[in-house]
Structure 1
């Protein structure tokens, strides 16, 4: 029996224009590249670290 893996959905709310290249790369790593785009990712420490690095550009959506 496999357990259902927890996921987290993030929405890009800020533009990467005039941001450092590492923040742009982090957004691409999260599967985001345009405003209001959503991405559902596994909820693990690597994903949470990436979200923390660009927390001013993304919003975590609960209940999805």
Structure 2
């Protein structure tokens, strides 16, 4: 797979889950500490309503994911 195209495996695995659980929220945790997240990766996942959460911004989103 070419760089920036590793979203394909992630995105396609959500299709079956979306059909079975349409009210679910989907997240991808992306490690961008050494390599930036490719725009194509983020935009492709957003087309499937999958939110990309970058490790470098974890302080902004980590509290939202805590289980109540």
Normalization by structure 2: what TM-score?
A: 0.27
Larger relative contact order (Cα-Cα within 8 Å, sequence gap ≥ 6): 1
Give the structure with higher Rg (CA).
2
Q: Which has the higher helix share?
A: 2
Q: Name the one with the larger strand percent.
A: 1
TM-score of the superposed pair, with normalisation by structure 1: 0.28
